[in-house]
């Protein structure tokens, strides 16, 4: 999983094609807006994704409907190392992530989505 326009985001394993999705982003995001984020949702994010997203979206143009959805969503952040969550509507989850995520999924809240957090989604 890569940020669409950050060529140096993740160079793990010698990956040298970061930012590859930038040229496809506009067309794809129209579909995402109509489907994946059309209904209310909460986010389950790993620490690294939270930091990238918070830096990118917390103060971004609120006229963009995707930015507005991300900023208004409750963000559950899995991290044992963060000391402060500055992005609006963020809640830190520590300890056993499987138990915490299972409780969230069983709860009465909206759909729970995992964006970009490839290690977390596998857990």
Residue 117 carries which DSSP code? Answer: -
Structural domain boundaries enclosing 96: 40-122
Percent of the chain with pLDDT over 90: 32
What is the per-residue pLDDT for 14? 79
**C-alpha span between 120 and 123 (Å, rounded):** 5
Q: Are 103 and 55 in a shared domain?
A: yes
Q: Which residues pair with 93 in a beta bridge?
A: 78
Q: Are 53 and 28 in a shared domain?
A: no
Q: What is the mean pLDDT of residues 36-58?
A: 88
Q: Are 102 and 45 in a shared domain?
A: yes
What is the per-residue pLDDT for 52? 87
pLDDT at 19 over 80: no
The mean pLDDT of the chain is: 83
* CA-based end-to-end distance of the chain: 15
Q: Are 10 and 46 in a shared domain?
A: no
Q: At which residue do the structure tokens 């506009």 appear?
A: 26
Q: Are 26 and 51 in a shared domain?
A: no
**C-alpha span between 104 and 97 (Å, rounded):** 10
pTM of the model: 0.78
What is the per-residue pLDDT for 43? 94
Q: Are 72 and 113 in a shared domain?
A: yes
- Band (26; pLDDT cuts 50, 70, 90): confident
What is the total count of domains within the chain?
2
């Amino acid at each position: 999983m890569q940020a669409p326009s950050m060529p140096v985001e993740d160079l793990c394993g010698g990956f040298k094609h970061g930012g590859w999705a930038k040229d496809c982003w506009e067309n794809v995001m129209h579909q995402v807006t109509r489907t994946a984020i059309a209904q209310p949702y909460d986010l389950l994010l790993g620490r690294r994704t939270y930091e990238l997203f918070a830096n990118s979206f917390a103060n971004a143009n609120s006229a963009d409907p995707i930015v507005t959805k991300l900023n208004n969503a409750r963000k559950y952040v899995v991290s044992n190392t963060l000391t402060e969550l500055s992005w609006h509507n963020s809640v830190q989850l520590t300890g056993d992530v499987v138990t915490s995520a299972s409780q969230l999924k069983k709860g009465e809240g909206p759909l729970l989505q995992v964006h970009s957090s490839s290690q977390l989604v596998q857990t």
